[in-house]
Amino acid sequence: MKKGQIIEGTVERIDFPNKGIVSMQDGICVVKNALPGQKVKACVNKVRKGKAEGRLLEIAESSCLERESPCPHFGLCGGCVYISLPYEEQLGIKEGQIRRLLEGVLDGQGAPWHFEGIKASPARYEYRNKMEFSFGDEVKDGPLALGMHKRGSFYDIVTVDGCRIVDEDYRAILACTRQYFEREHIPFFHRLRHTGYLRHLLVRKAAKTGEILVALVTTSQQERDLSSWQQALLSLKLKGRYAGILHVINDSVADVVQSDRTEILYGHDFFIEELLGLKFKVSAFSFFQTNSLGAEILYETARQYIGDLGTAQADGKPDKVVFDLYSGTGTIAQLVAPAAGKVIGVEIVEEAVEAARENARLNGLTNCEFIAGDVLRVLDTIDEKPDLIILDPPRDGVHPKALKKILDYGIGRMLYISCKPTSLVRDLEVFLANGYVVERAVAVDQFPWTSGIETVCLLGKPAGEGHEIQNSNL
């Protein structure tokens, strides 16, 4: 295969993330945004060591697995990639991706391990409790759009008022907001010129309580009275109820949803969600699993994997110390707390730590401590040695230097929860090099129809293994 060559072939499988594999006589070509069984045409744009990458030009023939998509935006929006498939087929694709990645690193670990497949999401549609919609236009100088980025484009926006992974309240709020600002002729923020007012619409809704938090994100380039927009939202007939409506000022050049200053227009700046019998106070920017019902499956699995922590106390009271690293708003820490003597959560986002502390008070938990800071540095300040470490890092995985400190504890068990399996596999290689083995693993479908997958791994260290660090890259 040569750069610029047009290839045609059938997609054999999908590797993570969203990589369609097409076998050719002289190697394989990776084509994104394709589905198993599709016959595709692609233009080769990169060739390296017999492996090529191609840009999808045309789906010459549909897969026999496909059905009519229930979403009118499928193929335009860059979000869902599997929504034209039956849900069971999507599950099978994701299970295969995780199995292949884990087998690639664990088949040589020298100890048996058990892969428990994939757990389905309780809700297949309308499961998201958070969406960040962008303002822009679908074509240059076109009408105001509010939604998701068009597939393969950094600038073009598709208005997703028929999106199937959010419920009708999201769709109503989106439509109302777009129509209001289009009618008022308010300009959106142009990412190239760095001029304009409207940037994002953040909507969060609790699955259990029905509370809704809305945040309009703008620049400070205009002074506007938003009371009529607020009233337009409040006049909508929704299934849920507003917890708060916010105006967030963000003058960052980067296309990120963040706050330089936040004004509460209505209610308050948080909502309450419930998971597994516990209540959680979630702010506009706090990390919280985006599929509440799926999160219950994920965290119940984590609790099951951890099992009974045991105790050394004669009265049977829990005495074990648990580290919850990258703890977010403290969800996992609080679910583990009843079985532990003490749980220490570490999270770099101060707002999330404050929320975690408030959540612990809300749930009457007194054995949880939450520390704000980088895991790499905070571990040096903690005197206690953990009996169990729970890792739930961001997409990039655990920082190598932080991983070294974690390994230095030399403890017998760890639980790793990953939202990006390729980062997980990279970190597992280091764990294996330092005497740990994976005992069991399972995937959880937290993000139906998208390429996202959560994976839970229980790691153990056979008795007698030392903990001298074996990876010089650490």
Cα 282 to chain centroid, rounded: 16
111 within 8 A of 465, measured Cβ to Cβ: no
Alpha-carbon span 206 to 200, nearest angstrom: 20
| DSSP letter, residue 188 | B
Query: From residue 1, how far is each of 45, 50, 221 by CA, in Å?
Result: 10, 8, 50
Which tokens sit at 147? 């939604």
380 within 8 A of 358, measured Cβ to Cβ: no
Q: Which helix (H) or strand (E) holds 52?
A: strand 51-61
272 within 8 A of 288, measured Cβ to Cβ: no
Beta pairing, strands 157-159 & 198-205: unpaired
Q: Which of 80, 163, 368, 419 is catalytic?
A: 419
Residue 43 designated active-site: no
Alpha-carbon span 265 to 48, nearest angstrom: 54
Which has the closest alpha carbon to 177: 230, 237, 244? 230
Say which residue the tokens 């970190």 belong to.
427
403 within 8 A of 474, measured Cβ to Cβ: yes
- Residues serving a catalytic function are 419
